[in-house]
Amino acid sequence: MNNRTGQKLYEKAKSLIPGGTMLLSKRPEMFLPDNWPSYFSKSKGNKVWDLDGNQFTDMSIMGIGTNTLGYGHDEVDAAVMQTIKNGNMSTLNCPEEVYLAEKLVAMNPWADMVRFARSGGEANAIAIRIARAASGKDNVAICGYHGWHDWYLSTNHNSGDGLSGHLLPGLEPAGVPKNLKNSVFPFHYNNIEELEQIVDTQDIGVIKMEVVRNFGPEDNFLQKVRDLATQKNIVLIFDECTSGFRETFGGIYKKYGVEPDMAMYGKTIGNGYALTAVVGKRSVMEAAQKTFISSTFWTERIGPTAALKTLEVMERIQSWDIITEKGKQMQQGWQKLADAHQLSITISGIPSLTTYAFNSDDALLFKTFITQEMLKKGFLASTNFYASIAHEDVDFAQYFEALDSVYHQIKAHQNSDVDLHTLLEGPICHSGFKRLN
């Protein structure tokens, strides 16, 4: 298999683009340093073609979780193509943003108003600005991953490495103003006592959190957060950029019967087209008019068009149930194969957005070896799986047949019969943020 064109282009990219790529999660070093295809020429369903014409079945992260309807969904693409023919931008506003806002309010009956953006980081920054304006307070308590903006990374100006359990360990908040220190305070999921202590001592105006982390709420945790926010007049924000539309038609908060004051949606809402949304109660969202939140390309037409059609398809086929079942199929297959080879793994995450790790000091070695060998067998694969409706039973059957032989070699390494280091054709993959030379 010739797959060198992508790596050659990536070497050029590293001299032209700081960090090599626009998204850390798509860096080749996160998968297979020196040997990852890096760039695609085409994608459709769950298939991806690289720059050398090789076709791969994507049993990995499906565009970082954006394409739950599969790549290039015919109905969504057709709606977008019609928009392109009619014109994507003009001096006037697109009506689709109003139709989409109406749809999102109907899906979230506690909410009254919506603002749109085009990336998850933007939506999180918008939500924080509005919530701070509404509460009249600067300080925020956070739990989870909420983007790259100054307000969030300022957590690491506090004492310690506050984001190590939420984003990545060892991040330097370089370029983030130091006067933002002690304005954002992290708390651990399912630890209500820690959150209460922060609220009692730090004059918190906003609580912002992911509804589900690697595991779900325990001991009525979400309701306790809701009650605390209500009692202290704190704006509660649920970040559903990742979790939205994966287990319900809308926010995963619906599973637990706990409603926020604001919520953000992203990733899946446009099936790969750029659209994110901030929904909220009128009493909170009206504060947006006291501050300045505005951007030219938030008014383009493709994003809302794609989102409207994506929501229509999702609702019709109940895609969240389909991808949940496919995620469970993957989790069960991983465990069955690991048990068969007497390998110890830990599986985490909601089924449609799942991952596993080897309980071994060699976990990163194993992960890299899996990626290398599965690539040779025609799969984009690592130790995670973001499900889509495009994943079929035949894909799972072929995937596990291929993975079986890889697991066999991993077990041989553990038995000292094989040294996987000698079989790797490049360095071990990165586990987090590293500066590229």
Q: Is residue 375 in some structural domain?
A: yes
Q: Which is nearest to 31 in space by CA: 1, 67, 59, 72?
A: 59
What percent of the chain has pLDDT above 90? Answer: 92
- Same domain as 113, residue 235: yes
- Same domain as 201, residue 54: no
Average pLDDT, the chain: 96
Q: Is residue 169 in some structural domain?
A: yes
- Same domain as 257, residue 158: yes
| Predicted pLDDT at 169 | 72
- Same domain as 269, residue 123: yes
Of 209-218, 293-302, 354-363, which range is least confident? 209-218
DSSP string, 371-383: HHHHHHTTEE-SS
Q: Which is nearest to 223 in space by CA: 213, 235, 211, 240?
A: 211
Q: Which is nearest to 182 in space by CA: 155, 148, 153?
A: 155
Domain limits for position 230: 89-300
Q: Is residue 308 in some structural domain?
A: no
Average pLDDT value for residue range 370-391 = 98
Average pLDDT value for residue range 17-43 = 96
State yes or no: pLDDT of 306 exceeds 70: yes
Domain count, the chain: 2
- Same domain as 233, residue 360: no
- Same domain as 350, residue 211: no
Is residue 281 within 8 Å of 111, Cβ to Cβ?
yes
Give φ, ψ of 56 to 5 degrees. -125, 145
Q: Which is nearest to 347 in space by CA: 361, 330, 364, 362?
A: 330
Q: Is residue 312 in some structural domain?
A: no
Q: Would you place residue 163 in the very low, low, confident or very high pLDDT band (cuts 50, 70, 90)?
A: confident
3-state secondary structure of 202: helix
| Predicted pLDDT at 72 | 98
Q: Is residue 431 in some structural domain?
A: no
| Predicted pLDDT at 436 | 67
Of 131-145, 243-257, 300-314, 419-433, which range is least confident? 419-433
Note the pLDDT tens digit of each residue in 48-72: 999 999 999 999 999 999 999 999 9
Q: Is residue 428 in some structural domain?
A: no
Is residue 229 within 8 Å of 261, Cβ to Cβ?
yes
Q: Is residue 434 in some structural domain?
A: no
- Which distant-in-sequence residues (6+ apart) come within 8 Å of 128 by Cβ? 140, 151, 206, 208, 237
300, 333, 352 - which closes a domain: 300
How large is the greatest C-alpha to C-alpha distance in the chain, in angstroms?
68
- Same domain as 224, residue 147: yes
Note the pLDDT tens digit of each residue in 353-378: 999 999 999 999 999 999 999 999 99
Instruction: Give the domain CATH number at 398.
Output: 3.90.1150.10
Instruction: Give the domain CATH number at 245.
Output: 3.40.640.10
- Same domain as 378, residue 257: no
Q: Is residue 305 in some structural domain?
A: no
- Same domain as 182, residue 257: yes
Q: Residues 84-97, buried b or exposed e (16+ Cβ, 10 A)?
A: eeeeeeeeeebebb
- Same domain as 273, residue 133: yes
State yes or no: pLDDT of 435 exceeds 70: no
Q: Would you place residue 303 in the very low, low, confident or very high pLDDT band (cuts 50, 70, 90)?
A: very high
What percent of the chain has pLDDT above 70? Answer: 98
- Same domain as 243, residue 171: yes
How far is it, in rounded angstroms, from Cα 265 to Cα 267?
7
Q: Which is nearest to 314 in space by CA: 370, 247, 230, 242?
A: 247
- Same domain as 102, residue 130: yes
